Every structure is written in structure tokens, then in C-alpha cells.
Amino acid sequence: MAPPPPKLEPLPEIPPPPELAGDPDLEPQVTITRKDGETVEEARVAGRVVWIKVTPRHGRPYFLVPDPSGQLQIRSSLDTGLVIPLWVLFTF
């Protein structure tokens, strides 16, 4: 005859996972400016411009995105050219 199973006890409650609070320095800070029917949205991460979206009063919106040298380049939904990804490896 098989021995009786050991007395089982319930497992303790699993605590909820900790909230994933994002690093405030890595969250984009968006500034929206409206002037003469034009809207300019500027996003910065850690004080550096990530992108600027310009929505003119008449016409299509476009983006200004910094290239590795820091110069702003125009990007729009009408760009059909090849976009090559660029990464900053070192800054001095």
C-alpha cells in the first residue's frame, strides 16, 4: 500500500511587480509653441533636441531631425530617398 501524501500547504501570495518608473532624464520633454497659425513641437531628451515637428498654417507638417554633426535636416512623409541610419559613437 502507498504511503499517504505529505500534508500540502498553500503558497504565500505573490507580491505585485514593482512599478516600472521610467528614468525622467530619458523621457522626452515636448514643448509646443503656437504662433501665427503655425505649430512647432520640440522634443528634447536629456537636454538635447531629438526632433522638431513644424505644422504650418497651410501645407503639410515636416520634421527637423539633427544629424550626427548637430545640423537639423528636414524630413517629411514625402521623402522617398534612402534613409541611412546613423549612430553617434563618440562625443567630445
- What domains, with CATH codes, occur in the chain? 29-75 (2.20.130.30)
What value does the mean pLDDT take over residues 35-55? Answer: 90
Compute the distance between CA of residue 82 and CA of residue 56 in angstroms, rounded to an integer. 25
Compute the distance between CA of residue 28 and CA of residue 88 in angstroms, rounded to an integer. 19
Give the pLDDT confidence score for residue 79 in this predicted structure.
60
Give the pLDDT confidence score for residue 82 in this predicted structure.
66
Give the pLDDT confidence score for residue 22 in this predicted structure.
65
SS3 content of the chain, % helix, strand, coil (to 5): 0, 35, 65
31: left (phi over 0), alpha (psi -120 to 50) or beta: beta
Q: What is the pLDDT of residues 12-42, one digit of tens each?
A: 898 887 765 666 667 788 999 999 889 999 9
Instruction: Report if pTM > 0.85.
Output: no
Give the pLDDT confidence score for residue 20 in this predicted structure.
59
